[in-house]
Structure 1
Amino acid sequence: MASPQSIAGWIDISPAALRKLRAELELRDKSVLDEMGVGAIHTGYADLFFPGTSVLHTRARYLLFVPWIYLGLAGNPRARAERVRELKEKTEQWLTGRLRTHTEENDEGIIGGRVYPAPPAQPPDFAYWSALREYRLYEGIPRAQLLARWDRARVIQRKDVHTREDRVDQQPLGLFDVPPLPAWWMQEDADVSFQLAPHEAEFLRDRLAQRRPPCLLGVAAALLGKRLRPTAKTVWGDPFMRRAAEVFDRDHSGPDLHPASAVAALQRADGASALAELVRAIYAALVEALREQDLRAAGRLPLPDDHAYYREYLRSYWEEDEGETVRRACELPLQGLMADIHLPGRLPELLAHVQARVSTIRRASGVHTKLLDNTTLELFTGLEWDRKRTRARLPRRDGRGRREGFGQGTVRVADINYRWPMVSRMLRDIQEGLPDV
């Protein structure tokens, strides 16, 4: 009879499934639903400006922690193929425990910190593997295959590669190009934090800056200095990133580079974020209006106090926002947006419709007739049905059950941050670790 341990298998995720899962995780950021598909704008500009990054990223030192986990296993004689997953999980548990001991309590950057000592749903290597490849910190077979084909003698650091005439199947499975394992690695009393040592910060800064083809993140990393770092809440509003975009355009302009102008792309990302926010607000207001019709038809009166929350919220863009979001959305050149990133399906049609309608509204009284009309409802309904018909709320009959319980807080109306909170934290980590000059 097989033991329970031998029965329990390991499910490896294919690269395509992994990409799909990561895309879905992108759209769950801060519980923002993406029924209208505007998440493609988020992913498009985030990948354009910050390739290799993810909403799952927290702190820059994980770019070193993850390779050290594997290099530590490669140096451990007990890390045979049948035990490597178990020992990897124990190493991750050790790392989380040491970070919890030496990091401030309110720091949410510890992956798995909230469920410790249980393992997290997505371990650090799941979150950071694409970045390791993107910035040449790792070269070799895919992550899942590396564990499935584990041979610790063939998982090495680049500095240990020597010219040899081994057979092809004896070549390294994985090469990690990072600073060597620190002496404190896997020590019970190790003082582990997110603070980068000066040589680690310089290494990561240089590796990001050397990314080819050049990207905005790499240029920004190269500019980091004692007084030069991100400070603003939005990437388009950050003086440091505007400077990085100017340097990108000065040093890397050319027909073969994308974007052709980082300065212009940042400005379009600003407008696209505002337009996507309005799309989300309109969607929520349309569902809410249909929900009110459902309640009235069922004789469920009086209506809840928040029955018009999203419609009032939509009106506030003209009443309390002083038209700032509307102005940004209307100034967005849609052709430029489509030159920057890919917009799938009918998303261009949706954006063009919303922008055209919004541009004609001068005061809040026009919201009902221009944005909550039957033409807009039909367009939104069709797109939602095409995307997520099993959970579509807008179809009058088929969506009635899914509108049950809809109210304030069901949909979080928000702009798009393009992973900026994670990226800016990573850049600050590197800047704070650089030696004083």
Structure 2
Amino acid sequence: MSSAIGWVDFDETERDRAQRLMDLFREQDSRDELGLGAIRDSIADHLFPGTSTIHTRLRYMLFIPWIFESLPSHLSPRDIAAKARQKEIELGQALMAGAPGAVGIIGKDAGEKLKRLSSSIYWSGLESWGIRKFPGSIEAYFAALPHWPKDTSKDHVEDDMSGAQRHRHLWHDRMPQPPKGWPDIVDFDLEPDEASFLIDRLVDRHPHSLLTYLASRSDQAKADAIWLHPHMADFPPQARVLVEHARIFSGVMHGAALLYNLLLSELRENEDWIERYQTALTEWSDELDTKELASWSLDDFWHETRHAGHSVLDPAKRFVTEWVALVRKEGGLGRNREAANALVMTRERRLKKGQSRFANKSARDRWQGASGAGRLQFRWSIAQSYLKDLKR
């Protein structure tokens, strides 16, 4: 094969993990202040593989391949990248014209100044679903494209190397064709063949995931959390077990997140924030099912949630184990608030070191009053948006 393949020498898993960490710092509700991200993402990737907290609409899973298949291959990698960027910006403009008022248009506000392109947001998901066959990064794609083998099954190939014929083995060979009017006229409505293609990719690559189960059944039930889904009793047994673990984990660890925010509020001496988190902690403690928590098996939890794409380190496991033990013993935070305070503060200090808000006054003064205070949802909102797009 062409020497271009030698350029695809990137550890994409590490690259994606690093990008995900940067994304977390831009998503206030998703901030991983207590180092639970690997656990959260392991569960999310089991339930809703190929999704991300910064995904918006499902049809981007087709927009990106359509754009990349149309790129001219006779240009330099730098010029190909510039061409791709311009096409993605034009896509945003076309969506604003074709779907005015639609939610989820990437670059709607930034326009030409857009920094994070939709291709970089969806690149990992495209590989996860088997839509993208090219195994490397976007930059490696641009570098390899001018040297990619031509489709020798054709008697004649266009000199500009554009079009799907020249991109065999880059994208799935059953990719639907762009709709009439593309790329000037476009919206988020999936054509029937497009929806079928996307569901087929899920069935092929993630046959046992909950997302595949729900998508295959055209499920559009509304629920604030996946464990509140009205048809949960009908979920496949393995998915149902994982959702139960996710619910209990989310519930018990929510207390640690609230306490973290309360401790910072007290240090900032902001009475409104203090009252907010004190009230939230009281409600959390009142709603906690102590009998269920007492019978919850952490060993089973670690076994069911392990995922090849995420490494849950021992310090994270120890923190969760110690927090659960404390909550079990006290039936909440109880009177042993000092032990709970110490556990949360020690965990954050070890994670952030010199940037710990408990140790660094400048970092604490920049705090805006909420960090990771929401309950873990494991990307259910994104999955629900995708299911809605499929149904629509």
Q: How does 1:64-143 map to 2 (within 5 A)?
A: 64-73=62-71, 76=72, 81-105=77-101, 107-116=102-111, 118-142=112-136, 143=138
The runs of 5 or more residues in structure 2 that have no matched partner are: 1-8, 156-165, 307-311
Query: What's 2:163 paired with?
Result: none
Relative to structure 2, which stretch is displaced further, 330-339 or 304-313?
Answer: 304-313
2:212 counterpart of 1:218: yes
Q: CA deviation at 1:405?
A: 6.2
Q: Partner letter of residue 176 of structure 2?
A: P
Q: CA deviation at 1:171?
A: 9.4
Distance 1:346 1:179, change over 3 A: same
Q: Partner letter of residue 336 of structure 1?
A: D
Q: CA deviation at 1:42?
A: 1.7
3-state DSSP of counterpart to 1:83: helix
Relative to structure 2, which stretch is displaced further, 422-431 or 19-28?
Answer: 19-28
The whole-number CA distance in structure 2 between the counterparts of 1:161 and 1:238 is 50
1:254-302 per-position Cα deviation (integer Å, ceiling 9, x unaligned)? xxxxxxx22111111111111221110121223334445xxxxxxxxxx
State the Cα RMSD in Å: 3.1
Query: What's 2:220 paired with?
Result: 229
The whole-number CA distance in structure 1 between the counterparts of 2:296 and 2:108 is 41
Q: Which has the higher contact order (CA 8 A, sep 6+)?
A: 2
Q: CA deviation at 1:307?
A: 4.5
Distance 1:390 1:176, change over 3 A: farther
Query: What's 1:355 paired with?
Result: 324
Q: Do the aligned partners of 2:28 and 2:370 also contact (CA within 8 Å) in 1?
A: no
Distance 1:338 1:102, change over 3 A: same
Q: Do the aligned partners of 2:65 and 2:171 also contact (CA within 8 Å) in 1?
A: no
Identify the match of residue 388 of structure 1 among 352, 364, 370: 352
The whole-number CA distance in structure 1 between the counterparts of 2:313 and 2:182 is 46
The whole-number CA distance in structure 1 between the counterparts of 2:73 and 2:23 is 36
3-state DSSP of counterpart to 1:88: helix
Q: Do the aligned partners of 2:33 and 2:372 also contact (CA within 8 Å) in 1?
A: no
Identify the match of residue 39 of structure 2 among 38, 41, 58: 41
Q: How does 1:163-174 map to 2 (within 5 A)?
A: 174=170
Identify the match of residue 282 of structure 2 among 298, 301, 315: 315
Q: How does 1:24-63 map to 2 (within 5 A)?
A: 24-26=22-24, 28-63=26-61
2:256 counterpart of 1:265: no
Distance 1:82 1:399, change over 3 A: closer
2:168 counterpart of 1:180: no
Distance 1:125 1:13, change over 3 A: farther
Query: What's 1:335 paired with?
Result: 299
3-state DSSP of counterpart to 1:229: coil
Q: CA deviation at 1:412?
A: 4.6
Q: CA deviation at 1:64?
A: 0.6
Q: Partner letter of residue 25 of structure 1?
A: D
TM-score by length of 1: 0.74
Give the aligned length: 366
Q: Do the aligned partners of 1:36 and 1:280 also contact (CA within 8 Å) in 2?
A: yes
The whole-number CA distance in structure 2 between the counterparts of 1:161 and 1:53 is 35
The whole-number CA distance in structure 2 between the counterparts of 1:184 and 1:358 is 59
1:328-380 per-position Cα deviation (integer Å, ceiling 9, x unaligned)? 766643222211224323222222332233234468xx64x32x30x333332
Q: Do the aligned partners of 1:291 and 1:406 also contact (CA within 8 Å) in 2?
A: no
Q: CA deviation at 1:186?
A: 3.0
2:188 counterpart of 1:197: no
Q: Do the aligned partners of 1:38 and 1:276 also contact (CA within 8 Å) in 2?
A: no
Distance 1:78 1:377, change over 3 A: same
Identify the match of residue 275 of structure 1 among 223, 227, 252: 252
1:393-432 per-position Cα deviation (integer Å, ceiling 9, x unaligned)? 23xxx3344333657x333511111111111111221122
Q: Partner letter of residue 147 of structure 1?
A: F
The whole-number CA distance in structure 1 between the counterparts of 2:245 and 2:152 is 45
1:121-148 per-position Cα deviation (integer Å, ceiling 9, x unaligned)? 2211111112221221121241220112
Q: CA deviation at 1:33?
A: 3.0
The whole-number CA distance in structure 2 between the counterparts of 1:239 and 1:154 is 50
Distance 1:305 1:212, change over 3 A: closer
3-state DSSP of counterpart to 1:393: coil
Comparing both structures, which one devotes a greater share of its residues to helix?
A: 2
Distance 1:65 1:383, change over 3 A: same
Larger radius of gyration: 1
